[in-house]
Chain A
Amino acid sequence: MVSFKRIFADLSVFRREYLRNRTGFFFALVFPVILILIFGAIFSGGSNGPIAVYAQNHDSGPIGAQFIHAMNSTNVTRIFLLPNNQSLTQYLQSNSGDVGLYIPQNFSSSLRPGNHVNITIYSNPSDTSGQIVLGVANGVVNFLNLRLANSSAIVGLQSQNVVSKSYSYIDFLIPGLIGFSILTSPMFSMVNISSEYKKSKFFKQLSLTPLTKGEWLVSKVIWYVLLSIISFVLMTLFGTFAFHAHVGINAAVIPFLVVGPLFFVSLGMLVGTVTKSVESAGVIGNIITFPMMFLSGTFFPISLMPTYLQAFAHVLPLFYLIEGLNNVMVYSNYSQAVTDVLVLVVISAVVFVLAVRFFKWRED
């Protein structure tokens, strides 16, 4: 018979150990905030402004200047004019300016039907802003071409956002970092506790009391659920107030804050149980944890990864946690979130049962 009295007795001892230990306190409350502040500071702002384009206008006629004016008025690019006696490519290299625009001599006078003249865009192929500038310049060039041909556009383009509001990177980052802290805090400490308690015969000692293995594990799960709720609140508050993240707090996050810790407490326990020593437990724990930490859409969307890695992400439990939190907090896509919860519930139940089965209070 499961006894809640025993579970809460164990919970209260464990909580005391955790909080009286400064490292525990740090990881519970300070670390999530630091995480948000660091990543928020790195990724917020900056990327939203117009792209800087360094240009040289060798044209003596009016069209070169008009071209630059047209580029500027898109608000996507901002042109910085360089003096003509300088080498544009050398300037770009030495100042790490990524995109350059070159308007040749006699540009205006060359513009007549049957003639051909080029505008050159310099860009760094590894940088996406080059592609954007190319697109903008292309638009202006097309417009010029049409005008020269005395024609007007027939097919127009209208752009509309598929989602009702626009997202910034920080919105996406907050669920990722919450998932990250739900992974790290229980996983690392359970791997350590389970192997350490085994070594120091602590489990044997507990087995001499009526406390059962399942009750002991449940008490750890409850503790890490509480911690994950606290870090969820802290991270969301800091993200919202310090970095203007647009994330929703609603009751739908609760299943994730419960099942996530359940899964990682059980997994950590299982790793500590099936390994022989504290050291090998640590190594195996890291082998499992690190790929999951980076490939589950924690710091960047998995759509940025090659397809084989995306497929791999779909077998990582943390992926479903983070996807689910994103669906609930950012995209309000609840039907997809239900799928995420179900996947997590099933794998957590399996790992919890395995952990209780394999972990031994006493020796054969």
Chain B
Amino acid sequence: MSAIEVQSLKKHYGHLMAVDDISFSVMSGEIFSLLGPNGAGKTTTVEILEGLRQRDSGEVQVLGMDPWKQGYNLHLKIGVIPQGFRFFDKSTPREALKYYADLFNVKVDPDQILREVILEDSKDVIFENLSGGQKQKVGLALALVNTPELLFLDEPTTGLDPQARRTMWHVIQELKKQGRTILLTTHYLEEAQLLADKVAIMNKGKIIAAGSPSELIEKYGSGKRQVMVSDTLEDVFVKLVGAPIEDEGNVVKPAVS
């Protein structure tokens, strides 16, 4: 069963085609990762799926609902960490959870959720004094309050140190084990490679490649698997998107596909 179905989705801002005719589907229980450089259209796509933005055209079904028209009901079943999540400056994580629990009219054990996202130690620190990683974890904790079956995580690890990023990965893997569907956007390729069952690479509003990480490496990789260093998703990404890379001291700009 698919949790998300997208057919020929389009969205423009003025002359800019932010999302240009994309199609994909996300199966229940899988982690689907949208990869792409800045401005590729990831957030726009995610916000359309969350019902926060209206699409120009195309078919979109999220948990069987039209996110724009049935947003209120959809929001009861999804959890979201928006890009650049922030909360009220003077509230603590525990107070934030209490607030969301009241809004969703559910009984939650704040300590249980905070343990789940590994934030127990900072439960009484006001938001503005939390570190970047802790703030993102508050976002994740809030996204879990209504025990959503589908989670949208828009760049949940951007700006975090490697340590904090690994904790976040761990938490995401635990959530997958509980059977939740997760749509994750990221700039970090190793993150997608590690976590995602399926990856779609976006550039300039289009999906330029999709499949499981191993399929992509198979298809677009250089075939370096026999040697010690095997291709990573990063190699594929750079090849497809055409970001400049450092190669033996020379800056090489690979041909754009």
**Footprint of B on A, CB under 8 Å?**
3, 5-6, 8-10, 12-13, 16-17, 20-21, 200-202, 204-205, 207-211, 362-364
Contacts and interface: CB of A to CB of B under 8 A. Distances in A.
Contact of B105 (A3, A16, A20): A3
B16 interface: no
Contacts of A10: 99, 103
Interface string B104-135: 11000000000000000000001000000000
Contacts of A17: 88-91
27 contacts: A3-B105, A6-B103, A6-B105, A10-B103, A12-B99, A13-B88, A13-B99, A16-B91, A17-B90, A17-B91, A20-B90, A21-B89, A204-B47, A205-B80, A205-B82, A207-B75, A208-B78, A209-B75, A209-B103, A210-B72, A210-B75, A210-B76, A210-B103, A210-B104, A211-B103, A362-B53, A364-B54
Given A13-B95, A363-B54, A200 B86 contact: yes
Nearest to A207: B52
B81 to A, nearest CB: 10
Given A21-B89, A363-B52, 7 more contacts: A10-B103, A13-B99, A204-B47, A205-B85, A208-B52, A210-B76, A363-B54
B135 to A, nearest CB: 13
A6 to B, nearest CB: 5
Which of under 10, 10 to 19, 20 to 34, or 35 or more describes the interface residues of B?
A: 20 to 34
Contacts of A8: 102
A363 B95 CA distance: 28
Most buried by A among B52, B85, B100: B52
Contacts of B71: 207, 362
B86 A202 contact: yes
A201 B99 CA distance: 18
Contacts of A201: 82, 84
A362 B67 CA distance: 12
A204 B85 CA distance: 11
Interface in B37-64: 47, 50-54
Contacts of A200: 86
Nearest to B146: A209
A204 B82 contact: yes
Given A13-B91, A208-B75, A20 B126 contact: yes
Contacts of B54: 363-364
Contacts of A9: 98-99, 102-103
In the A-B complex, list the 4 residue pairs whose CB atoms are closest, starting with the nearest.
A9-B102, A20-B90, A209-B103, A362-B52
Contacts, number: 68
Nearest to B143: A208
A209 B74 CA distance: 10
A3 B103 CA distance: 9
B75 A5 contact: no
Contact of A363 (B53, B84, B98, B103): B53
Interface of B: 47, 50-54, 71-72, 75-76, 78, 80, 82, 84-86, 88-91, 95, 98-100, 102-105, 126
Contacts of A5: 102, 105
B90 A16 contact: yes
Given A17-B90, A362-B51, A208 B99 contact: no
Given A6-B103, A9-B99, A13-B99, A204 B88 contact: no
B236 to A, nearest CB: 32
A211 B102 CA distance: 10
Contacts of A13: 88, 91, 95, 99
A200 B86 CA distance: 8
A64 B93 CA distance: 85
Most buried by B among A3, A207, A364: A207
Most buried by B among A21, A202, A362: A362
Contacts of B72: 210
B100 A16 contact: no
Nearest to A209: B103
B97 to A, nearest CB: 11
Given A17-B89, A17-B90, A204 B52 contact: yes
Nearest to B79: A208
Most buried by A among B91, B99, B104: B99
Nearest to B103: A209
B26 to A, nearest CB: 19
Contacts of A363: 52-54
A351 B218 CA distance: 61
Most buried by B among A3, A9, A13, A204: A13
Contacts of A205: 80, 82, 85
A209 B105 contact: no
B105 A210 contact: yes
Nearest to A362: B52
Contacts of B103: 6, 9-10, 209-211
A27 B175 CA distance: 45
Nearest to B74: A208
Contacts of A362: 51-53, 71
Contacts of B84: 201
Nearest to B101: A9
A210 B145 CA distance: 12
Nearest to B73: A210
A16 B92 CA distance: 11
Contacts of B105: 3, 5-6, 210
